[in-house]
Structure 1
């Protein structure tokens, strides 16, 4: 076997292990929740954010109406947007609708879970329990994998090795 062939074999053997780093998808009713994660926060920070994807495999819409975590005094579903060059962030008072057959990504720069009044910093490597509440699927327990401060995705510093196409 050539060096190139051995390298490909080694890579093929590592890929299942690398993808196994992420927690299994969580099913709740017609919803599938995947890749829940957060970024570590610097000491003294009072806010943090949570990210994940929610896919609706059903025939009717559902709505993420609330979230809670023991580490935070309050968790809100937020939307970040840039309008006319001005970044705004606001809570979604009526929740976030997940239409049937669609996937909604809560990711940096868009929808996210805003954790306020943190009781302690979020540290890389921590597993952060969080409860999501949906209009139809009810309460769902998820665990956020806390990544590095500057992480761009659930894979750590450089983000996930996988690309996702989320059509909204």
Structure 2
């Protein structure tokens, strides 16, 4: 009886994410990787001074946040149709979908790197604060993320 009670307590403490995405399969890991990239983007954005550069980067960040919702929905749907609890990526259409979303996660991380470079440029060159061209790399990466996520 105590073992059943402990299992029931563990199940009750699980978040909806655990139930919908599984606990350690490819869809959970893919979603978490994408979420970390988006979180990192927004953390780095906090260090960018106000101005046109920050406005442009905030727009990209908002677009990434929308993609995060879409990636989560896609991973939940794939976990429901092609459940995963291990490291093996499914084949067929699910595998292709995983590859696209994995590439999108990599590009989201590249967008965060672009924010880092924009921050460094803004600190060393005050004219960058009014020049949104420093955000072009982030914008390109986010546009590619959107194309991959919404395919």
TM-score bracket, normalised by the shorter chain, equals under 0.3
Under a length normalisation based on structure 2, what TM-score does the superposition of the two structures give?
A: 0.28
Under a length normalisation based on structure 1, what TM-score does the superposition of the two structures give?
A: 0.26
Larger radius of gyration: 2
Instruction: Indicate the structure whose relative CO is greater, using CA pairs within 8 Å and at least 6 residues apart.
Output: 2
